[in-house]
Structure 1
Amino acid sequence: MKLILNNIKYQITLIFAIVIAISFSTTALFTSISFQDKFEKLIQQELKSDIRFSKELLELRLPGDWSARGNSLYKGEVLINNNFEIVDMIKEISGNTASIFLGNTRVTTNVLKPNGERAVGTKVSPLVENTVLKNNKPYYGAADVLGVMNQTAYEPILNRQGEVIGILYVGIPSTTYKYLINEFILLMIAISTIILILGGGVMLYFINKKISPLKSLTEVTKKIAKGDLKFDYTIKESEDEIGVLSSSVHIMKDQIYEVISKMKQATLENNKIVTKLSNYSIDLSYTAGIQTEQSKEFHSTFLELSKSSKKINENIESSVDSTKNVSNIILEFINSF
């Protein structure tokens, strides 16, 4: 893992893969949401058409007005309670579940309970009851049908006086089309993964081809750092940054080699001069040694001469004193006469 993170090729490929993955994930997410929204709108259009068909079928098969007689619902003179023929016919033709309500209670339906029984006697959801029964408006959209979310179409059933006495329902469980949506999402993920792998492979190939000269440059700079300048390498002929870098490194190597060669030549010349100076110094030292010995002899002779001079001077002074004494004696002798 450390080797991969320290390799510029894999770093660029990893960044590319992350960007592509994020892009495709975002695209897939928005596409899925958009697809689901459009699919649900399409289902709603289909359900509106199906509920119109159901009303026409009821009018055709059961002519007459709707009426509520106690706990029973009639269409003309036909009792609707537990009359499953009409709802099953609607399901057979449209593929949708269907129910007919008296007030908020199902009196005939092909919606099943978890135990498999028809959900006769069950109630409509409060949201639908408030919209359809209380406000006399149709309801189209998602609704809870016995704990299962459905895309639904509910329309009020009116008696001859225009009063709302019941509800006509058709719908499709969300699980039915969610499966299709999930299949679409999985398909998008599969396509995105394939594109990501292929794109990553192509990207890795071109990156490897593009930055492969950097490997050579890395080895070249390592040799230069170790002082090894006696080698040749092929310059990548291109006008991009890598080509310019390769050419610059080549020029730098040659210049460093030239400078070091000149320094070595200058060092050799200096060594020759130092050798000559050393020899000359030895000669001077030898000559100086001879002169030093002669100087010592001269100094010794000088000291001896100085001592002799001093003695002579002392003798002269002694002679002068003697002369003075002799003169005094002579003067005294003369004066005595």
Structure 2
Amino acid sequence: MRSIKHQILLLLLGSLVLLAACFLAVLGWYMKDRVVAAAIIKAQTDLATCEEIIDKTYPGPWSVKDGNLYKGSFKINLNNDLVDHLSKLTGDTVTIFLGDTRIATTVRGSNGERVIGTKVSDNVAKTVLEQGQTYIGEANVVGQWHQTGYMPLRAENGNIVGIFYVGISRTYEQEIMTRSLLTMAGLGLGLTILVALITWFFIQKMIIYPLHNITLGTRDVATGHDTEKVKVSGAKEIWELEDAFNQMVEKFQSFTGEINRVSDSHTDAEINNVNIGDVAEPAHDGVGISEVMMKEAAREEGSAEVKQQSGDEELWCVEEEALPKGLNQSTLNQILGFLQVNQRPLSSEDVAEGVKLTRVTVRRYLEFLEERGILISKLKYGVGRPVKLFIPSDRPFDK
């Protein structure tokens, strides 16, 4: 069965992953429209830029002479240096048409050759050549879709003699979108991790740790130990649980104290009756006061004896009669078993985590075992408060 900590962690991570996926999906849809709009603006800007460069490089009007297109006195047919230069400046594909036919272009076919002599698409020809308007939008350029800009080239008398074209391939659009998505994904991932860490820290402090402390206190009560009231900070529900637990501890301590008081009173009464009987009959069966006292002392001394065993068993064996008030044999055996398995320097917090009891309870057992010589301790200094480490006395600390 998964712990509540793991369930909350899975829920948190699942929610954040779902949120990030939805964010990227919405961002991708939004970016698609923005990239298209940016490509259209780029096409319009590149048309104006290239027109100005051509006018400054080749002054004079557009004209047609002997079936060739001229700009001023410069022949444009097969002038690939011009279109290559403009393409390098803008990053676009560039073409100059005479009428509807390509006469200089950077567009290449499947064989890698420039597609000189191919025709412009019919819808573009109608818009630019017949209607005299600039065409901005998607167009099929030799079998590939581009975001394009076509503008009419006019002779000095106003007649349309050709077309100037710039095109932005979909690959360029996809690259822009991919870079944008990767950038946003990186920022989103960083933000998601930050939110996850802050949320997890909050959950640990306000829910997990308080519940853990209350659970350990409950286990102490269940194993018959006196336990202290817990003091935790958290949400209202956690505070109510803490209050209920502390009330239970109060009742338990009150009930235990009452039982001990009644038990002690009965024990004192029995001892008084025995002493009175001994004094009244000092010679009864040859037993005097001094002999009674000697027997009582021998009984008390016998109750604190430790079983002697051979080898390692002698170190770890403590009789239940030797335990001080408040400690029990089952919990001691549990702690001894953990120490035997993990024979290395351990703090009370390490042992408490291993046996699932509170540090206060575990510390009492460790200090008792230290008094009996079964454990030895040493303070470990570092950052913060020094930590007291315990280890079996037959395995001294490394120098």
Determine the structure 1 residue equivalent to 2:227: 232
Pairwise CA distance, 1:152: 2.0
**Rg comparison, structure with higher value:** 1
Q: Secondary structure at the match of 2:147?
A: strand
Supply the distance in 2 between the matched residues of 1:262 and 1:68 (Cα, whole angstroms). Answer: 122
Is the 1:150–1:172 contact (alpha carbons within 8 Å) kept by the matching residues of 2? yes
Q: Which residue type is aligned with residue 11 of structure 2?
A: I
Alpha-carbon displacement from aligned partner over 1:228-266 (angstroms, at most 9, x marks no partner): 565314322447321221111231354478689999xxx
Supply the distance in 1 between the matched residues of 2:11 and 2:121 (Cα, whole angstroms). Answer: 50
1:192 pairs with one of 188, 193, 216: 188
Normalising by structure 1, report the TM-score.
Answer: 0.62
Task: Between the two structures, name the one with larger relative contact order (CA 8 Å, sep ≥ 6).
Answer: 1
Structure 1 residues 11 and 69, CA, compared in 2 at 3 Å: closer, same or farther? farther
2:5 pairs with one of 2, 9, 12: 9
Structure 1 residues 90 and 217, CA, compared in 2 at 3 Å: closer, same or farther? same
Determine the structure 2 residue equivalent to 1:249: 245
Is the 1:151–1:171 contact (alpha carbons within 8 Å) kept by the matching residues of 2? yes
Q: Which residue type is aligned with residue 215 of structure 2?
A: T
Residue range with higher mean Cα deviation, 181-190 or 31-40:
31-40
Pairwise CA distance, 1:220: 4.9
Alpha-carbon displacement from aligned partner over 1:15-65 (angstroms, at most 9, x marks no partner): 333333333334444445545544544443343232123333444415234
1:64 pairs with one of 38, 42, 61: 61
1:47 pairs with one of 43, 47, 66: 43
Structure 2 gaps of 5+ residues are 260-399
Pairwise CA RMSD: 3.7
Structure 1 residues 67 and 25, CA, compared in 2 at 3 Å: closer, same or farther? same
Supply the distance in 1 between the matched residues of 2:86 and 2:75 (Cα, whole angstroms). Answer: 17
Structure 1 residues 111 and 171, CA, compared in 2 at 3 Å: closer, same or farther? same
Listed as ranges, the matches of 1:26-41 within 5 Å are 26-35=22-31, 37-41=33-37
1:141 pairs with one of 137, 143, 148: 137
Structure 1 residues 130 and 250, CA, compared in 2 at 3 Å: closer, same or farther? farther
Q: Which residue type is aligned with residue 184 of structure 1?
A: S
Supply the distance in 2 between the matched residues of 1:161 and 1:112 (Cα, whole angstroms). Answer: 33
Q: Tell me whether 1:167 sits opposite 2:125 in the alignment.
A: no
Determine the structure 2 residue equivalent to 1:216: 213
Q: Which residue type is aligned with residue 138 of structure 2?
A: A
Determine the structure 1 residue equivalent to 2:201: 205
Determine the structure 2 residue equivalent to 1:25: 21
Determine the structure 2 residue equivalent to 1:176: 172
Flag the structure with higher helix content: 1
Q: Which residue type is aligned with residue 113 of structure 1?
A: G
Q: Secondary structure at the match of 1:82?
A: coil
Is the 2:226–2:253 contact (alpha carbons within 8 Å) kept by the matching residues of 1? no
Alpha-carbon displacement from aligned partner over 1:190-235 (angstroms, at most 9, x marks no partner): 33233333432343233222221212333555677x6x56531432
Is the 2:217–2:230 contact (alpha carbons within 8 Å) kept by the matching residues of 1? no
Structure 1 residues 149 and 7, CA, compared in 2 at 3 Å: closer, same or farther? farther
Normalising by structure 2, report the TM-score.
Answer: 0.53
Q: Which residue type is aligned with residue 206 of structure 1?
A: F
Q: Which residue type is aligned with residue 227 of structure 2?
A: D
Structure 1 residues 200 and 62, CA, compared in 2 at 3 Å: closer, same or farther? same
Pairwise CA distance, 1:154: 0.9
Q: Secondary structure at the match of 1:52?
A: helix
Structure 1 residues 174 and 206, CA, compared in 2 at 3 Å: closer, same or farther? same
Supply the distance in 2 between the matched residues of 1:222 and 1:55 (Cα, whole angstroms). Answer: 85
